[in-house]
Structure 1
Amino acid sequence: MGSRDLSLYIGPTGMGSQIEAAVESTQLVVEETTAAGVGSLDDETSPDCIVTDHDPPERDCFELLEAVPPEIPVVLAPSGGSSSLATRGLRAGAETYLDPTTCEDGAAAIAAEINRITAERYRNDDRIERFTSLVSHELRSPIQTAKSGLDLARTECDSHYLDNVAETIDQLDQLIDNLVDELKHDEIAVEMDAVDLAAVVEETWADRTGATLSVESELPTIEAERSRLRQLLDNVFRNSVKHGGDGTTVRIGVIESQDGSDDTVGLYIADNGPGIEPDRREDIFDYGYTGSANGTGFGLAIVSEIVEAFDWEISVTESGDGGARFELHNVKEF
């Protein structure tokens, strides 16, 4: 989501001013009503936490909890609450419940809770950054050593076991790429621009052996982010070839518009592999789900997240050859 170093307080401006004077390392935005608070939430305004005094109407509290993304902690701090409200609010997804009327200084107590939450989030961000650096740099060194050793081994012998080793090394390399990408996902802002789909398809498929790509229609220039589009295509191509094996044919083309829209198109990527059982088609985009023993469970989950970032839609069905057919919809032509 968007900017950080920001917290939101929904309640009286007088109390908001007192809290603002006591918070640390975060800017406090004050809104008097739940409607105004919810209205301030968008992709550019993602607060570290939200505190609501939701007085007077109790229903506003639950309206807020339904509207706020689950990764943003919400603190209930009503000036006139009850234990039953606290229980129901926590069950509905609130982070904590704080009754400022029972504190010597209600504003200071709320500010302390905001400081605690923001400090914890910053610590988590630091941990993620350090872990991402470890994964990205420290783990690549032994993989590069293994690749160099494999190259030397190929000069001395020709064994199919070396191909198995190479495949495993490539799998580890891809796993690291996917893991680092997911760890950084919240920090990546998608910048849409005109992208020549045909050129990106050709680049992404290049040097892929043992399989055939068939472009079945003229591919348009679309609105996307080039690097993320290439990652999307690579993961879908990789999935098709991995499950289909040698001799796999992957077909890509344009889906004829069903709604008469002139500015959006549909795209399909289909293969002649074993296909995906109907009862598994919703699960394949979940993190950790894999249909093979050597799968990572990241590839198609990342595809789904890129599709969401692009504001596209994706589905999977059966291809004309009995394999898998991925369909992308709401793709804007440029």
Structure 2
Amino acid sequence: MTGGAPSPDALVRALTDADGVPYRRRVDGGQRLESSGRQIGALLDLAEPPERWLDYVHSADREDVRAAVERAGSETTTETYRIRTDGGRTRWVRDRFARHDDDRIEGILFEVTQEIAHRESLERDAELLDDIFQHVPIHVYIKDEEARHQYVSDHIDFPEDLIGKRDIDVGFTEPESGRRAYEDDMRVIETDETILDQEEEYPAVGECDLTSKVPIYDEDGETMGLLGATRRITERKRAKAELERKTERLERFVDIVSHDIRNPLSVARGYTELIEEPDAEPEYVEQVEQSIHRANAILDDVLALSRQGSAEIDPERLGLSTAAETAWSHVETAEATLSLPDEDLTFRADRSQLARALENLFKNAVEHGPTSPDSQAQQDAVEHGPTSPDSQAQQDAVEHGPTSPDSQAQQDAVEHGDETVTITVERLDDGFAVEDDGPGIPPEERERVFEQQYTTAETGTGFGLAIVEQVIDAHGWEIDLSASSSGGARFEITGVDVVGSGDD
């Protein structure tokens, strides 16, 4: 068999795969080698074995090796350290030796550079994993093939309580949740299925998580467990639900505006056409103005309702009588009267929000004032008049007729009969009440009055009481609708932050 001498690298590989290289070297001085093979020379990139072993030991490890050799006895000692090759490369060796006599040791050298590199890599990975598990802002975990927790991040409280346990062994708030989680674990481990971004809800505590689980494998490709990550998304879910609610409300408002505002604009357009006729009545201009005012009222209420949900509450100390009088001054009250409590109430509320609520309560009472039987018959005739094409203009004139002083008095008679409505503001122990002496609201209708677009008045927008309810809810108060002593409507607002005389 012919061929060249093996290369140093080939000899190193052979040394790595072999049982090691025996040697004998002295204890003193530079630990001169007395017996060794060519493999040690190859280990140091030398054609021949070195003369002094310590000359090739890494300078940082040299004293440790010298001390270990001097301490050596008849029992085998193992030292792992670095050597420097003739070409300046660093290699790791494991040196197993024992004292032969006072001056010599005998041992075997193993080249373990790859082993050390692999171990260091594993140590770095372990340190990185520990760092991740300590600082990752979500719940991360590793489970074995039986779905028992092996590693758990510090994101949750008491992660050590989970080590060695399956989810069915952990005291979940909801046992069913633990069972489902364990079944998911075993499905991932047994079938290599991956679970990504699975929502898990816990109704008992009002929380929601998003979980992902993937199988992990050993060096032979066998499934050895799973890696999981769970993060809490409760706030994100709530924000999403709130966004969907606002979007739905916006779409509803668009529908409301496009539908409801069309009626007064159609009336205005009809009277505009009539104005162009030679025999046009001067009152037609007033009807156009009223229709535009009606359209503006709808827009104002829709915008107020849309902004109410996101409005910030800035409570301050307010007096009930002053707040009621201010709100009353902003309402078209016709012949209605306002009665204030004998003893004022001081409480904390948002000034502008309270004003809007009171204004809408007052508007509701005025718009739904008392009607006599005679005027009701006249109103029914107005509401259900002829609808033939020839009579349509006449019907429009009746429904939306002029508002001169004489016609206004007739209109007031239709809406309120011969009576005028009285609105009373009353102090309660923990709030206040607003009631009127109008026709009231039937019990079967009281649940619906706070719905948007609900109204029984021709001039109502259907948003007033919905705005009132939102203001009450925003303050954390309660509102209750019942009948007043005179048969009218009574709104009681309770849970108010009443301020005593000694309070700031």
TM range (shorter): 0.5 to 0.7
- For the residue of structure 1 that corresponds to 2:421, the secondary structure is strand
The aligned counterpart of 2:182 is 80
Q: Aligned letter for 2:212?
A: P
Change in Cα spacing, 1:217 to 1:174, as seen in structure 2 (3 Å) is same
Describe how 1:276-291 pairs up with structure 2 within 5 A: 276-291=441-456
Instruction: For 2:300 and 2:183, locate their aligned partners in 1 and report how far apart those are by CA, in whole Å.
Output: 48
1:177 equivalent to 2:300? Answer yes
Q: Distance in 2 between matches of 1:248 and 1:203?
A: 21
Q: 1:68: which partner in 2? A: none
Partner of 1:329: 494
Which residue number corresponds to residue 45 of structure 1?
A: none
Residue from 136, 139, 148 that aligns with 1:17: 136
Are 1:195 and 2:318 matched, yes or no? yes
Long gaps (5+) in structure 1:
1-12, 22-29, 34-52, 64-75, 136-141, 258-263
1:305 equivalent in structure 2: 470
Q: Deviations over 1:124-171 (max 9, x none)?
A: 699799989x99xxxxxx9xx99x999xx8xx95427835x5454344
Partner residue of 1:100 out of 201, 212, 236? 212
Out of 211, 233, 238, the residue aligned to residue 358 of structure 2 is: 233
How many Å apart are 1:193 and its aligned residue?
Answer: 0.6
Q: Which residue of 2 aligns with 1:6?
A: none
Match of 2:480 in 1: 315
**What does the per-residue CA deviation read over 1:213-259, in whole Å, with 9 as the maximum and x for residues that have no partner?**
222423333211110011001111111111214454232232454xx
* Aligned mates of 1:288, 1:92 — CA distance in 2: 36
Deviation at 1:101, TM superposition (A): 2.5
What RMSD, in angstroms, separates the aligned Cα atoms of the two structures? Answer: 5.5
Residue 439 of structure 2 is aligned with which of 261, 264, 274? 274
Q: Are the counterparts in 2 of residues 250 and 269 from structure 1 also a CA contact under 8 Å? A: no
Which amino acid letter does the alignment assign opposite residue 240 of structure 1? A
Question: Which 5+ residue runs of structure 2 have no aligned equivalent?
Answer: 1-131, 141-154, 159-166, 186-197, 217-226, 256-261, 370-414, 500-504
Secondary structure of the residue aligned to 1:101 is: strand
Aligned partner letter, 2:326: E
Q: 1:174 to 1:62 in 2, by over 3 A?
A: farther
Which of these two proteins has the greater Rg computed from alpha carbons? 2
SS of 1:162's equivalent in the other structure is helix
Q: In the alignment, which residue of structure 2 is the partner of 1:46?
A: none
One-letter amino acid matched to 1:182: L
**Partner amino acid for 1:17?**
V
CA distance in 2, matches of 1:61, 1:235: 50
Deviations 1:57-110 (A, max 9, x none): 4544999xxxxxxxxxxxx9x753669xx9995999999885522578643x85
Match of 1:251 in 2: 423
Where do residues 2-81 of structure 1 align in structure 2 (5 Å cutoff)?
14=133, 17=136, 19=138, 32=157, 56-60=170-174, 79-80=181-182
| Higher RCO structure (Cα 8 Å, ≥6 apart) | 1
Q: Percent of counterpart pairs with the same letter? A: 25
1:15 to 1:121, Cα distance in 2 relative to 1, 3 A: farther
* TM-score calculated relative to the size of structure 1: 0.57
The letter for the 1-side match of 2:136 is: S
